[in-house]
Amino acid sequence: MADSVYKVIELVGTSTESWEKAASFAVERAAQSLRDLRVAEVVQLDMVIEDGKVTTYRAKVKVSFKYESGG
């Protein structure tokens, strides 16, 4: 395996159904504009509460992808 460098970004996905769907949405959306995604790590889960009820699940996800220099 050749030496390589990966960039890590942090995203927040949301879903009205579940944390799993929120995390999946974040990764799927990132894959639309980033190439060579490698690892996604869920680092935080939280919920939005309105009038005493959960309305949105949120998943903070760190996603890594292979870094390619622009030169």
In a domain, 53, yes or no: yes
In a domain, 46, yes or no: yes
In a domain, 21, yes or no: yes
Owning domain of residue 37: 6-66
Report how far residue 13's alpha carbon sits from residue 24's, in angstroms, rounded to the nearest whole number.
8
What's the predicted TM-score (pTM) here? Answer: 0.84
Q: Residue 23: which CATH number? A: 3.30.1660.10
In a domain, 40, yes or no: yes
How many folded domains does the chain comprise?
Answer: 1
Question: What is each CA distance from 56 to 4, 10, 42, in whole angstroms?
Answer: 37, 19, 17
What are 25's two structure tokens? 């949405």
Q: What is the pLDDT of residues 28-60, one digit of tens each?
A: 999 999 988 989 999 999 999 999 999 999 999
In a domain, 71, yes or no: no
In a domain, 1, yes or no: no
The pLDDT assigned to 42 comes to 98
Asked whether the predicted pLDDT for residue 68 surpasses 60, the reply is: yes
According to DSSP H, which parts of 1-71 are helical?
19-31
